[in-house]
Amino acid sequence: MRRPYTLIAGDFVDTGGMDRANLALALWLARQGHPVRLVAHRVADALRDHPNVRFVRVPKPANAYVLGEPLLSAAGRAWALRTRAEGGRVVANGGNCPVPAANWVHYVHGAYAAEPAGGVLRQLKGRVSHRYYVRAERLALRRARVIIANSERTRADLVAATGVPASRVRVIYLGSDAERFRPASPEARRELRAALGWPESRPVALFVGALGDRRKGFDTLFRAWARLCERGGWDVDLKVVGSGAQREAWEREAAAKGLGARIQFLGFRDDVPRLMSAADVLVSPTRYDAYGLNVHEALCAGLPALVSRSAGVAERYPAALAGLLLDAPEDADALARRLEAWREHAAAWAPHVSALSAELRARTWDAMAEAIVDVVEREG
């Protein structure tokens, strides 16, 4: 019988980011025959239905992660002790559970303090939550036997924020779903654009990210877009994928500035691969991204992606694509210039985007999971 594993994380679902990565690891372990116990708030149906998976559901009061964290930590510690006694392995995520085992870090709270939108109470909640997460993160990472980071950026951030020795941190990049995110043929792309109602004559830029705070940099993109449209001659339309507390305010702002026809807010979408296959460029002027799976997936789909140089995924860009990297997420004028450069040099950059796309697609989620388990078996 294979060694049992307990994975402790908020969610194992296919909605993107850390949740998608957690799902990939759990599925790979289950398919390899390991008994897998998931201590979490939510798991995907593919895991619920798998005979090798047991879901230990942890409540999330008022649907708030900060209220569910203490419950997740307590349940995780109890099941971690049991798993270790059985000769098994344990993998926690960041600060969600302080156990002497492996810890897989997707986000470093000590490296960035979010700025939530809304009234005084929402902002106060954000500050209190941040302080809690920073303390929990420091405790959990200092207790971990080995730490797995999703980028060199994350490794540097967690060492600086928690004081753990760099020698205990291993970097393993995220994997890819090459079946869902891959370049579309010209015919398929035309059909997708027609189905979406996007004219073939007008290029489309995508923004994919939450609109609940300033982390993903939509405010910078909005200012850049307004300036480009004011100058005339800018023929690109912007489609915004994501929801959050600021969405309606941004829609009102776009209408007030006469940009209602140039910026379309699509809300939450479950067809992001389809949208990426139909678009021309992704824009992500993020203030903080430990990695940036949205950028990774856009590249896999064959899209050039403008992203902040500080994002973890930017480490994977070759020198030939340095023109797609943004030095200052706050600088709307610089972003506007980068967008104009993309419009001018897209054909010259295309072969380099294609090569990077192929490289990323070659490393699957399964390859990532196998690399993680190799580290956990040796050091966790």
Q: Please tell me the predicted confidence (pLDDT) of residue 126.
A: 66
Q: Please tell me the predicted confidence (pLDDT) of residue 328.
A: 94
Q: Please tell me the predicted confidence (pLDDT) of residue 1.
A: 73
181 in a structural domain? no
Tell me how crowded residue 197 is: count the other CB atoms within 10 A of its CB: 7
- Are 244 and 148 members of one domain? no
Q: Please tell me the predicted confidence (pLDDT) of residue 122.
A: 66
Q: Starting at the earlier edge strand, list the strands of the sheet with 263-267.
A: 263-267, 237-241, 204-208, 281-284, 305-308, 325-326
Report the C-alpha gap between 46 and 21 in whole angstroms: 14
Average pLDDT on 225-232 reads 93
pTM as predicted: 0.94
Average pLDDT on 317-330 reads 96
180 in a structural domain? no
- Are 270 and 330 members of one domain? yes
8 A C-beta contact, residue 312 and residue 289: yes
Query: Which range marks the domain in which residue 265 is found?
Result: 186-362
Q: How confident is the model at residue 118 (pLDDT cuts 50, 70, 90)?
A: low
**Total count of domains within the chain:** 2
**What's the pLDDT tens digit per position in 160-207?**
999 999 999 999 999 999 999 999 999 999 999 999 999 999 999 999
Q: What is the CATH number of the domain that holds 110?
A: 3.40.50.2000
- Are 46 and 126 members of one domain? yes
8 A C-beta contact, residue 98 and residue 70: no
Strands 42-43 and 53-57: unpaired
**What's the pLDDT tens digit per position in 204-224?**
999 999 998 899 999 999 999
- Are 148 and 258 members of one domain? no
What does each C-alpha distance from 56 to 7, 38, 48, 244, 332 come to in angstroms?
10, 6, 10, 29, 46
The percent of residues above 70 in pLDDT, for the chain, comes to 97
- Are 228 and 79 members of one domain? no
- Are 147 and 204 members of one domain? no
Mean pLDDT (the chain) is 94
Q: Please tell me the predicted confidence (pLDDT) of residue 15.
A: 86
- Are 69 and 215 members of one domain? no
**What's the pLDDT tens digit per position in 287-310?**
999 999 999 999 999 999 999 999
